[in-house]
Amino acid sequence: MRHSIALVTGTTSGLGHAAARLLAIEGYRQVIVTGRSLARVQETAAQLAAETKTQVFTPLELELDAPTSVQSALAELVRLGRPIDFLLLNAGWIGGKERVLTAAGIEATQAPLIGHHQLTVGLLHANLLSHNARIVIAGSESARGDVPLFGYTDVVALAATHYQGDRSAAVEALLRSGPNVKYEPRRAHSDAKNVVAWWAAALSRRLPPGMAVYAVSPGSTPDTKGLRNAGPALKWLMVPLMKLIPGMSHTPEIAAHRYLQASEFGTDVSGQFFASAPKKFTGPIEAMRHPHFHDRATQEAAWQAVVEVSGVDLSYPASLSAVS
């Protein structure tokens, strides 16, 4: 998609920053970069321009945890009126010891998906994605269930035990870290990325022909702020060890290349989750075949839970009055 328009969320540091830089180097004529504060993202745009010696970066304020900020960002994108060819939904971290809920009652590691869902649906409603747009959302190796110390919740069992088999209610419980969900930061991270994979699969069935979406794990990339809230055992013991062992981690630049690689994938693999080979943390990416990623009932349940929590769906005509 050389000489096209891209929008990257979470660009003030880490993977988003690296991806925005690579997009400019690859020849994109406009890269919309976002951050929680306008001043900070303006600084980021200036820094990226200096690093790449290009003037293609457009700053956009976007706080994914705040629906009003998402609406304001959509309104600005409507004003600009330029269809986006590559939408990179980049966010993710491991929470701290204590559970944190947003003002809307969403568990903090789950919250970026809600904002990304609101943004993506808003762009679709406003016809601001090009006819062959590619959407990439950040996943995680931990969602596979084969990463040491990173388990995930069995949604089918949770639904059967506490929600009369209602998987949508079970996923919503994960989104809100409800009374039947015991918070543990690493498990919460894996759960969030499982919901991301299910969401991408469900979205793929709702996209117009020609568009495609993929969940993509950046791989083990400790040199970002994703571990800023992690516990000391992970941050100060495991991560330094991982950096010493070949193949256990790679740089943000290598990780960001995965996102760009996926932007060139075809519609035949839309909705799939791409990560390192099973039990690997870096290296070439491939489509994951684990059964829990491909359960359509769970995918649809995850979509309905996100719709319920976000208040936004694709099943009815959009009114741009909320964002204009």
pLDDT tens-place string over residues 251-264:
999 999 999 999 99
Give the pLDDT confidence score for residue 149 in this predicted structure.
84
> What DSSP element (H or E) covers 42?
helix 38-52
Work out the pLDDT band at 284, boundaries 50, 70, 90: very high
- Summarize pLDDT for 213-222 with one digit per residue, the tens: 999 999 987 7
The mean pLDDT value for 113-119 works out to 98
Work out the pLDDT band at 78, boundaries 50, 70, 90: very high
Say how far apart CA 33 and CA 282 lie, in whole Å. 26
Give the pLDDT confidence score for residue 293 in this predicted structure.
97
Work out the pLDDT band at 99, boundaries 50, 70, 90: very high
Is 306 inside a domain boundary? no
What phi-psi label fits residue 85: left (phi over 0), alpha (psi between -120 and 50 degrees) or beta? alpha
Give the pLDDT confidence score for residue 227 in this predicted structure.
56
- Please determine, for residue 199, whether its predicted confidence score (pLDDT) is greater than 80: yes
Give the pLDDT confidence score for residue 230 in this predicted structure.
56
Is 52 inside a domain boundary? yes
Give the pLDDT confidence score for residue 6 in this predicted structure.
98
Residue 315: other Cβ atoms inside 10 A = 6
The mean pLDDT value for 3-25 works out to 94
Q: What is the mean pLDDT of the chain?
A: 90
The mean pLDDT value for 179-185 works out to 93
Give the pLDDT confidence score for residue 68 in this predicted structure.
96
The mean pLDDT value for 158-183 works out to 97
Is 261 inside a domain boundary? yes
b/e per residue 45-59 (b: at least 16 CB within 10 A): bebbeeebebebbbb
Work out the pLDDT band at 249, boundaries 50, 70, 90: confident
Lowest-confidence region among 34-38, 145-149, 199-203, 269-273? 145-149
- DSSP letter for 284, please: S
Give the pLDDT confidence score for residue 242 in this predicted structure.
60
- Please determine, for residue 243, whether its predicted confidence score (pLDDT) is greater than 70: no
Is 173 inside a domain boundary? no
CATH of the domain at 281: 3.40.50.720
- Please determine, for residue 113, whether its predicted confidence score (pLDDT) is greater than 50: yes
Lowest-confidence region among 24-33, 231-240, 264-273, 278-287? 231-240
Give the pLDDT confidence score for residue 241 in this predicted structure.
59
Is 301 inside a domain boundary? no
- DSSP letter for 238, please: I
Is 88 inside a domain boundary? yes
Work out the pLDDT band at 318, boundaries 50, 70, 90: very low
Is 161 inside a domain boundary? no
Sort strands 5-8 and 84-89 into parallel, antiparallel or unpaired: parallel
3-state secondary structure 65-115: CCHHHHHHHHHHHHHHCCCEEEEEECCCCCCCCCCCECCCCCECCCHHHHH
Is 99 inside a domain boundary? yes
The mean pLDDT value for 315-324 works out to 39
Burial of 284 (0-12, 13-18, 19+ CB in 10 A): exposed
Work out the pLDDT band at 144, boundaries 50, 70, 90: very high
Percent of the chain with pLDDT over 70: 88
b/e per residue 256-266 (b: at least 16 CB within 10 A): bbbbbebbebe
Domain that holds residue 135: 5-150+189-288
Domain count, the chain: 1
